[in-house]
Structure 1
Amino acid sequence: MGSCQLFSNLSELKSFVITHHNTIDICHETCNNDNNNKLNIVYLRYTIGKVKNLRPLVFSCLDKLENLDISNGSLEIIENGAFNGLEKLKSLTLSSNKLTHIGRNIFEKLINLNSLILRNNKINNIDDQTFDKQTLSSLDLSYNELKFINKYTFYGIECKHVYVGNNDKLIENFIAWNVDESKIQTDCIVQGIIQICTKLNSLSSVDVIIHDFSPDFPLPSSKLELSGISSIGRNAFNNSNINAHFKVLEIHYTENHEFIIYPESFEGLINLEDLILNVGAITLTNNLFDKLKSLNAWNFDEFKIQTDCIIQGILQICTKLNALSSVDVIIHDFSPDFPLPSSKLELSGISSIGRNAFQNSNINVYFKVLEIHYTENHKFIIYPESFETWRIPQFTAAHMNEKYYIEKHFFAARG
């Protein structure tokens, strides 16, 4: 007796579980060709099985199926058409298998699908528009090997909750993914009285969890130290109920890929004075710290900071975070006897002179006048090392048109 005939005699059977079996094929051709042999099963679970490939129409006799669970097995490949005939399916679980690729069109016939669970596989590639026209309450892609999601991966999907956590090499970029950040799974931990929440290892919020917390509540520390995050999300602190309390922010990150922060990452940290980033590779852009009006110091490797250069005549003037980093002539085979048009260097749009800004310049000996224009409200910063190897024969005067404070021996490094 074939499985088709066997199940047809069990017309009241609604739920069926298969374990430790070599096949999931309960819909043979005889069932597919005979409408009288359609089965009434609404729940099918296949677990700890050895099936590696789901062929087309493998479930075609289960047109009443609402819940399909294929988990904890050896499944590697899903062919197009494997789920054809399952128009009533609401929940599909394919967790803890060996899937590496999710192709386009695999789920297109599942017009009533509500929940799609693909967690704990080895998925590293998802075709564009794979979830097009799907309306889901939950899509779970966590615990896979995804490294990249592009703007077409989630194209056309309507989904209330997307889970992408614990893809260790996947970097948060919700805007590039073309997905609403509010739909991404949030994971929270509690440290003392503070709740720290992340989305895909990106810091999303920091709040005190005390009921009726007020601004005058004495926190144990004004320092916030974080580890295990790969980025600071946009507006991570903007709605925090304690953003005004933090004066020191220190972050530790040891992975090989780049740590990501945005100018909006610091929105709301109005009293932050010290920023310590022990995070490895990072790209810092000019407007990154615009929101940190109280910042006095930051600590990171300056050679990881993005350099921006402009050309003024024959001069190339480079800055890092609006701090002057170098001034050089860009003429090929430039020599010391080349006649420069002026011995005066006039600069604007910078907020500081970096340490050793002139040290390796090929024309530092030429300048006799340095004039800087700066109109912002926060402090202009210069260091003794800012004038390292500044080889003017005699520094005759320093003119400043605002209140200033000069430490003893400030210009000693001039030489």
Structure 2
Amino acid sequence: MFCLLLLREMIGLLLLVSLPAVFSLCGECNYSSPIFKCQGIGQDDLLLKLFRKKDVMFNLHEIFIEDSDFSSIRPFVDFSYDLSPAEVQIKYLTIQRSKVDAVSSDTFGVFKDLNKLNLRQNDITNLAWLTGLSYTNYFNLDLSYNKISELDFNSLKQMSSIWLNNNEISIVKPASDYISFDFVDLRYNKLVTFSEFEYNINIQYLDLSYNYLQMLSLQNKKKLLKIEGHENSNILYIGTSYFYSVYNFYSSFIPNNSLDIGNIFKFNCIDTDFLVLDSNKTPNIRSHIFDFSNNNLSNIPQNYFQYVQASVLNLSFNNFLVLSNKVFGANSAITTIDLSFSKIKKISNTFFINCCSSSSSYYSVFVNLSGNALEEIDGICTRIPQLKHLDLSSNRITNISQISLLNCTYLSFFNISNNFISHIPPDTFQGQVFIKTIDISENNLLFIYESTFSNIKRVLKNIFLRKNNILTLGSSTFDDFDYLQNIDLSDNKIRKIEQYAFSNLKSIDIINLSNNAIEVLESYTYYNISVKYINLQRNPIHNIKPKAFSNLKFVQSLNIRNLLVKKIDTISQKAFYNLQNLRYLDLSDLGISRIEPYAFSNINCLIEVNLKNNNIQGIDKYIFHMVNIGTLLLNSISNPIVFDNTVRINKMIIQLTGIVGERFISSVFLKNLTIEDSQIELLKDNCFVNLPLLKSLKLINTTIDDTEDNIFNGLTSLTYLDASQIFQNKMSLKEYTFKDMRNLEVLIISNSALNTIENNTFTGLSKLKKLHLQGNKLTVVNLTAITNGLPDLLTLNLSSSSIKNVHTSKLGSPNNVKYLDLSKNFIEKLDTQTFRLFQNLVELHLHSNLLSVIEYQTFFCTKNIKTLRLDNNKISTVPIGGFAGLENLRFLNISDNVNLFYYSFELSFQTLKKLEILYIDNTYSRLLLDFKNFTKSFPYVKKIGINDNPFNCENLLNTLEYLNSNGIDYTPYNPKFDRNNFNGVTCIL
């Protein structure tokens, strides 16, 4: 907000505060319903700022003040009446970083509905003033970062959440009556003792971190207790109530006494390097989650967790080198143990003794050892028979035989990715092993043998082998797996896949072979499998043999896209045959130059076929046979495209080059054709004649050097035509150009060089609804010549077309046009005949022209117009009767006619009784409203624009008060705050 010197008394303002006759409104305040925010103000300024926003304020629930000066804060007064009719109910009050120091008991007494008071980062020293507060239940108080030294709980009655952190509290006075709080934050104070029994209180969420506690006495159940910080490590005992327990406990030391923790005990020994746990101080804690992560621990003493009863033990991100001690007790029931990223080089099977001894067979055990330096692990399932999930990824394992899976009957997920394994012996998975998911990605494997997974092929569901060095997949490598669903072999070095490599896979969904070195796709590589998604992209494939993808009845997506140097020359006959469920086929960037007949046949569900960026010059008959295609993408086509009558195709997106000859595209069923990014030398007559069902024709980013006269012959079904690029170099539209298009509904010829439209140009377009001719070079337009013969035309757009003269013929019948756009032209004059035949017009755009006068009865025949734009013209006169005929007008914009009211303050609006929105910004208006008669004359007005006019500030203020009192919105669409203004509406002092 700028600083504005107001020289007149503001009625109502003096009811709030006494001020000098001349005053300065500095600082910054903004209102965004229902919040009023200020910065850099004083207490007196606040009331003035509120009053200045009165006209745009309809409700006020929060006041937010920061970085201001309230050092001599006084009791607030009730300003709700003075902001009427706005609804004022202050629920949230913030005054932060504003030098608040001495607060009295009646400072905030006027705020009867407070839910939260925020006075953080000030200079408050005591809490005595809190007794004068009026507040609702669940009240929140933030007094953090002040200078309070004494806490009296009698001052905090009935509050819900209290922030008193970062003060100087060392003295606590008890409550006279028992009080319960939801949340109290007392971090970073100077407390030595804290006893809820002595203070007669109970706190559900309590944070006492970073104090100097030596004694802590708590009662009843807690949802959260935090006592972090080394200053608290001398606490001898926690809790004296028989029923005491805590749900979440965060501590930087191990309590001496036993605790019942419902959810998590988080040990957070901050800023301690290579901590050694005290073997003489074993935790006796019952908790669902026992979290010792990220503590730089280097050792766990013998039997350290013997009394811990937890289901999740997190020891990740520590510094263990060797774990050999037996640390768990006989009744341990851990189901998840996380030792990841803890620098472990060796872990003895004795470490896991008893770790899950009480875990029921109904519970599965998860062990995470990822991100360490392990080279081997032995007998883990002997100690943890219920082990289901074992993660050994990112270690230093070189031989999978070093991982003993003896007795791993329940093991379902096995991750040994990102190690140094180069070989998997055939008998690796012997015995009663039922692994469903195995991840051996990011190793050094060279081969996968038929017998590699033979012992688990009846149960295996997912195999991840990406980022290895596999060279070949032999015949029957993946044969006869009953439940296998996902095979990931991406990012290997596979050059050859033998026939039947993938066979008899009844449950397979995904085969990922992307980013390999595959050059030839053999016949029957995939045999009798249920695969849905095959990814072969980024392989140097140059040969797809017959029936390479035949009879894959369930495949939905097939991606062979290639961005590598080697290319495919030919797609063989029946290469893609009988793929009954194939949805997506991507053959882009393969360098294909020849496709044999029947290469694509018996495929009924294709949504998209991408053949872009190949060397295909045309499509011969029978390449596609008995195929249904949603969308076909082709580019660099210079020869004809022919589909036989068994091919049903909905949409084709194509790039053409050279001459597009007669019957260039032939398809009985094609409905939508988009020609994009093309350079066409010539469109010849009848080039689209063999497209009897085509409904939409679009040309996008296409250059056409020349066209013959009858290129649209045969397009009898077309409903949408964007011919802008076809006529971009044409200067005239000849008669009968569209004579065959009896079903056309939308015609677009925009941003072209047209300067002439001949008579009968649009003859035959009996169903045309929208005609877009914007952005042409039409100087003179006869509206009758365009609309005659178009009985269904509803929209006519002639904007930005260099029009200087627009007229209507004396002879002609009324049309049905409802939307007419003549904006952004050079029209200087309209007369009573211009819109004579536009009796059904609803919306008329005439903005951004050169109109200087609105003639008498210009709109007399357009009685149905509801929206009229005349802004940004040079209108200086609107005579009485200028708006005659506009009895139903709802919206009028006559802004930016800079001399409209220079000589007169009156405008002939008498007939505009139904007007709802009026813009007269920047029209040199000095006095507009007759307060006595305005709402009577215009009872429906709800919005008015009056900005950028030379209003006297005093008159403007009166005008805004009048508008506000009558519920009329005057918010400017382009507010100006860098000049004298009220709420962005400018004025002159």
TM-score of the superposed pair, with normalisation by structure 1: 0.47
Structure of greater Rg: 2
TM-score of the superposed pair, with normalisation by structure 2: 0.21
Higher relative contact order (CA 8 A, sep 6+): 1
